[in-house]
Structure 1
Amino acid sequence: MAARDDILTRAQIDDALAGLPDWRYRLGGLVTVYKTPTAASALELIAAVGRVAEDMDHHPDLDWRYNRVFIRFSSHDVGGEVTTRDTRAAASVSEAASAAGGEAQPGLYRSVDIGIDTADAAAISEVWRVALGYRKGRFGDLVDPYGRGPGVWFQETPTPNDNRLHLDVHRSKAESATVLEKTAATGALMNSDHAPNWVVVTDAQGNRLCLCTEEGQGPDIAGSEGN
């Protein structure tokens, strides 16, 4: 079990990731995707990850899609942050993936949150939490305890947007340029005032989404969860 003083700062996470090229930082966790030659070899990799998890008594969120395995490590016992247990586990999984013929494709790992504009988050958050079966997260947001549904966070503002709900699509900065270019090519309005942290995209009917990166996020960065 990790202690609060085991939580890594964003600078420490970045230092660790310099030696973990297969992995990216994402909203309190380390994430990656491995592509294997076949579905059978993906199952072999999953078994290897399971052995690592049991040996270290630290278990990831894992999703299998044919010959790709999506993996996320986070220390839930300290509120969903990155600790040294996560970096050690990520290093061990990278070794197992290499032995299984896995190819790292971390750019495929994207996360989606729902942002809600509101003048009073406390007045509505419990409705969303109960209806979704979620729990409270790191910064007053709501998270699926099983890691399957999108997160929900509340953007408090005295002037909520007419379209109060928007999506935050999180990708790694290293892989974000292509998506930004392709989205701009659709004719959407692109507001890059806060880039590279996030770019606000507005479609022709006024609906918004944000294309976000890990910049400006971390346990030691105030307000890192929203935009």
Structure 2
Amino acid sequence: MAPRDEILTRPQIDEALAGLPDWRYRLGGLVTVYKTPTAAGALELIAAVGRLAEEKNHHPDLDWRYNRVFIRFTSHDAGGEVTPRDVDSAATVTKAAAEAGAVAEPGLYRTVEIGIDTPDPTAIADVWRVALGYKKGRGGSLQDPHGRGPGLWFQETLTPNDNRLHLDIHRSKAESGPALEKAAATGASMSSDHAPNWVVVTDAQGNRLCLCTEEGEQPRS
């Protein structure tokens, strides 16, 4: 396990991202999307990222979709938080992407979590963990060990909502404006009491989702 004192604080992460315009902070990781001219170019970029990851012994979560490559760096041995290794790896990948003629589209990187209202998370967490085949993650959340399914977290409350499950859709603050405008245009109820951290969206039948940003998100020790 990596020392916990390697974990970067939010001010340190924000300072690092000022020099990494291709990247965003997201739930304990650094994320981006690169668009290449062709699908073959995306595969070449993936191969380059793989070589760099092997050299540094620090590997990202990576997803290929035609001519786009979705990339996330986090330090699993530091509890799924951002360390200097992630910043260094992101900078190296940025150079490789530029050499490949790739264009950064970080706003396309969306993360979905499922939130469950409950007065006692410990009473139900194992049911969900076993049923989904998940593992315990940061801050008491549950995570797909292969990074495929959405994360799941428990919102502890003595007054659970009638609809106990809701979705959290995470975008970067820089790209959240259009999503909020489009959601409002559908006629949904919008509660901005906690904006810009999150906005609660409720549809005509009372189902909730939250449009979230990285604002206010802190590393979890």
What TM-score results when the alignment is normalised by the length of structure 1? 0.96
Q: Which whole-Å deviations, capped at 9, do the CAs of 1:15-60 have from their partners, x for residues lacking one?
A: 0000000000000000000000000000000000001101100000
Q: Which whole-Å deviations, capped at 9, do the CAs of 1:107-127 have from their partners, x for residues lacking one?
A: 000000000011111110100
Q: Structure 1 stretches (4+) deviating beyond 3 angstroms?
A: none
Q: Which whole-Å deviations, capped at 9, do the CAs of 1:118-152 have from their partners, x for residues lacking one?
A: 11111101000000011111111101111111000
Q: Secondary structure at the match of 1:71?
A: strand
The equivalent residue for 1:14 is 14
> Is the counterpart of residue 135 in structure 1 residue 142 in structure 2?
no
One-letter amino acid of the structure 1 residue matched with residue 65 of structure 2: R
Q: Separation in 2 of the partners of 1:91 and 1:103?
A: 15
> Is the counterpart of residue 51 in structure 1 residue 75 in structure 2?
no
Q: Percent identity?
A: 78
Q: Separation in 2 of the partners of 1:65 and 1:129?
A: 28
The equivalent residue for 1:31 is 31
Q: Is the 8 A contact 1:2 1:83 kept in 2?
A: no
Q: Separation in 2 of the partners of 1:64 and 1:141?
A: 26
Unaligned runs of at least 5 residues, structure 2: none
Q: Is the 8 A contact 1:163 1:207 kept in 2?
A: yes
One-letter amino acid of the structure 2 residue matched with residue 175 of structure 1: E
One-letter amino acid of the structure 1 residue matched with residue 89 of structure 2: A
One-letter amino acid of the structure 2 residue matched with residue 126 of structure 1: D
One-letter amino acid of the structure 2 residue matched with residue 215 of structure 1: E
Q: Secondary structure at the match of 2:190?
A: strand
Alignment of 1:26-105 (within 5 A): 26-105=26-105
Q: Secondary structure at the match of 2:45?
A: helix
Give the superposition deviation at 1:185.
0.2
One-letter amino acid of the structure 1 residue matched with residue 153 of structure 2: W
The equivalent residue for 1:189 is 189
Q: Separation in 2 of the partners of 1:162 and 1:219?
A: 31
Give the superposition deviation at 1:2.
3.4
Q: Which whole-Å deviations, capped at 9, do the CAs of 1:62-103 have from their partners, x for residues lacking one?
A: 000000000000000010000000000000000000000100
The equivalent residue for 1:225 is none
The equivalent residue for 2:176 is 176
Q: Separation in 2 of the partners of 1:57 and 1:81?
A: 17
One-letter amino acid of the structure 1 residue matched with residue 183 of structure 2: T
The equivalent residue for 1:121 is 121
Q: Secondary structure at the match of 1:139?
A: helix
